[in-house]
Amino acid sequence: MKYENEINKRKSFAIIAHPDAGKTTLTEKFLLFGGAIQTAGAVKSNKIKKHTTSDFMEIERQRGISVATSVMTFEYRDILVNLLDTPGHKDFAEDTYRTLTAVDSVVLVIDCVKGVEEQTKKLMEVCRMRDTPVIIFVNKLDRDGKNPFDLLDELEELLNIRVRPLSWPINMGKDFKGVFNLYDKSFVSFAANRKATDDDIVPLQDLSSPEVDELFNPTDAKQLRNDVELIEGVYDQFDKDAYLEGKLAPVFFGSAVNNFGVKDLLDTFVEIAPTPRDRQSTTREVKVNEPRFSGFIFKIHANLDPRHRDRIAFLRVCSGKFERNKYFHHVRLDKDVRFANPYSFLAREKNIIDDAYPGDVVGLFDTGNFKIGDTLTEGENFYFTGIPSFSPELFKELVNKDPMKTKQLEKGINQLTDEGVAQLFTQHNGNRKIIGCVGDLQFEVIQYRLLQEYGASCQFNTLPFYKACWITGPKQKLEEFTRFKGANVVQDKDGHLVYLAQSEWYLNTERANNPEIEFHFTSEIH
Ligand code: GDP
């Protein structure tokens, strides 16, 4: 019973957004409400302002000192909320995609001026793959943004999900008056930099009452009545089950920097967001409430200080109870491991913990035993599925510049790609190494780290590929294909065959010419 209670009080989620939409600001407000921080400005943006390696390194160094920023745990209304941080820079989007495999729901922040942006779409695609429940927060209502109805249409159209507003703005920009809560029929008036207290809430059960005209001017009152009538006519009642199935996203409006609309959002989040759920593995569905422990590694954080070259592997607990000093089974290495100093991240401090429950994230000291997707169990052999690799967007050949350091280079690139810094593809029995990344900054980081941490100097030669496709099919067909297209066929780290296409035209041609071969745009790590 106690165990069920532990599971049911946990909600693990991530805030996702296109850079600059307000993720850091919203995170900070949540932590203030949760009592995890006392002052504004305590949350450091993990955004890289300049596109330089040194800037990135500086941030990584700071983060290395305080890995606590990776997971922020706080209590709000008896719910233990685990907020998983995601990188702010688009070049590290893969890190974000992987973090999304470790959460049970997300809050998506949209800038009301810009609407749906490039990164918003990609992040939502990943959420759609897993049917992750999404709550949308339309931010920056203190600016003149797009018409809210148009925004809702844009969200539905570009994000491929049904939406249902639960709050509604009265004007925007300098005329912004506040939001009407469609759920409990109340109005909260806007004041910049407020401390949202319950006193600001005016119940407005009957929008036709003259009170509404007094509260606003008649034009705004009329507009609100018309809008609400239209909303109730167009949208079905909010359906919580559809939200939990990832089919319907409730939408809130507000202004994070002014702490406006954030409490509404957080209150609704703790009420409706899912608790940890059952998860599919390679052999069976793992029930969240089964007594035997299981979990997987979704992120590895290297300490870039050369004097302490340790890493922290982030484990998401999926079932049972994680315990300090207890032996667990490392499925890939087929060996039993235990952890003397597992970390939790309560109140943003790194604390050594004795146990952890489903939904929790535990930081494990690692000296190179883990790679992304590794599973720990109490003896059983399975991997959690649904931890995909995505096609990189840039490809470069890794060239060793110092033949005396070949071993160091091999070791370095293997460890860095285990960490998920980039993807490694090989040809000719591993002699030709191709690195795939999402952004140029990643190549710079690899070059820097190989030199600093492994003493290996390398150079990158750009290759003319645009996409990697994992290929499967009858053995003979794959062999033939490899023979004819040798220059374009490589292996990933797990030995899977990958076709590197120069352009969409080539890709389509090969698909048409080889109907028996399947081209996949993502690869499951397991
Ligand atoms: P992130 O990149 O998504 O983490 O975005 P940040 O939280 O760092 O916010 C980007 C910028 O938008 C910062 O300058 C914030 O002060 C600003 N910002 C955040 N919320 C609001 C808001 O509600 N209104 C306005 N006008 N600016 C905001």
Q: Which of 110, 114, 257 to mutate to test the pocket of ligand 1 (most atoms within 8 A of CB)?
A: 257
Q: Quick one: pLDDT band at residue 318, thresholds 50, 70, 90?
A: very high
Q: Which residue has the higher pLDDT, 521 or 152?
A: 152
Q: Is 255 in the pocket of ligand 1 (CB under 6 A)?
A: yes
Does 200 have pLDDT greater than 80?
Answer: no
Q: What is the dihedral of CA 502, 508, 514, 515, to 10 degrees?
A: 150
Ligand 1, atom 19, residue with closest C-alpha: 22
Residue bearing tokens 């590895």:
300
Q: What spacing in Å lies between the alpha carbon of 18 and ligand 1's midpoint? A: 11
Give residue 423's pLDDT.
94
Minimum CA distance residue for ligand 1 atom 2 = 20
Q: Which residue has the higher pLDDT, 447 or 348?
A: 447
CA 194 to ligand 1 center in whole angstroms: 16
Ligand 1 centroid vs 258 CA: distance in angstroms?
10
ipTM: 0.99
> What are the tens digits of pLDDT across the range 123-151?
998 899 889 999 999 999 999 999 999 99
Kindly state if the Cβ of 257 falls inside 6 Å of ligand 1. yes
Q: What band does 346 get if pLDDT is binned at 50, 70 and 90?
A: low
Distance 163 CA to ligand 1 centre (A): 23
CA of 111 to the centre of ligand 1 (A): 9
Q: Residue 50's pLDDT is what?
A: 45
Highest mean pLDDT among 83-97, 183-197, 267-281, 306-320: 267-281
The structure tokens 């305590």 sit at 42
73 or 63, which is more confident: 73
Minimal-distance CA residue to ligand 1 atom 27: 140
Start-end of H helices in 432-484: 440-454, 475-484
pLDDT band at 352 (very low <50, low <70, confident <90, very high): confident
Ligand 1 site-directed mutation target among 16, 18, 24, 25, most atoms within 8 Å of CB: 25
What pTM does this model have?
0.87
The confidence score (pLDDT) of residue 19 equals: 87
pLDDT at 498 over 80: yes
| Atom 17 of ligand 1, nearest CA residue | 22
Instruction: Give yes or no for residue 324 having a pLDDT over 90.
Output: yes
Binding site residue list for GTP: 85-89, 139-142
Lowest mean pLDDT among 127-131, 215-219, 446-450: 215-219
Segment 100-120 shows an average pLDDT of: 95
Pick the atom of ligand 1 nearest to 88's CA.
Answer: 2
DSSP 341: S
Kindly tell me if the per-residue pLDDT of 347 is higher than 60.
Answer: no
Write the burial class of residue 297 (CB in 10 Å: 0-12 exposed, 13-18 middle, 19+ buried): buried
pLDDT value for 64: 44
Instruction: Assess whether the C-beta atom of 23 lies below 6 angstroms from ligand 1.
Output: yes
Ligand 1 centroid distance, CA of 21 (Å): 6
Q: What does the DSSP 8-state code read for residue 260? A: B
**What mean pLDDT is predicted for residues 215-224?**
87
Q: Nearest CA to 400 among 460, 445, 446, 347?
A: 460
CB of 22 closer than 6 angstroms to any ligand 1 atom? yes
Residue positions in the annotated binding site?
85-89, 139-142
Of ligand 1's listed atoms, the one at least distance from the Cα of 139 is 23
pLDDT score at 42: 54
| Average pLDDT, integer, range 96-106 | 92
Per-residue model confidence (pLDDT) at position 257:
92
192 C-alpha to ligand 1 centroid (Å): 14
Q: Taking the chain, what is the end-to-end CA distance rounded to the nearest angstrom?
A: 33
Assess whether pLDDT exceeds 70 at residue 27: yes
C-beta separation of 148 from 235 below 8 A = no
- Is the CB of 117 inside a 6 Å radius of any atom of ligand 1? no
Q: Is the CB–ligand 1 distance for residue 88 below 6 Å?
A: yes
The pLDDT of residue 1 is 66
CA 415 to chain CA mean position, Å = 22
pLDDT at residue 111 above 80?
yes
Question: Does residue 408 have its Cβ closer than 6 Å to ligand 1?
Answer: no
The mean of the pLDDT values for the chain is 87
The 10 Å Cβ neighbour count of residue 426 is 17
Give the pLDDT confidence score for residue 309 in this predicted structure: 65
Q: What are the Cα distances from residue 301, in Å, to 45, 66, 80, 221, 385? A: 17, 11, 24, 52, 22
pLDDT tens digits, one per residue of 409-444: 999 999 889 888 899 999 988 889 999 998 888 898
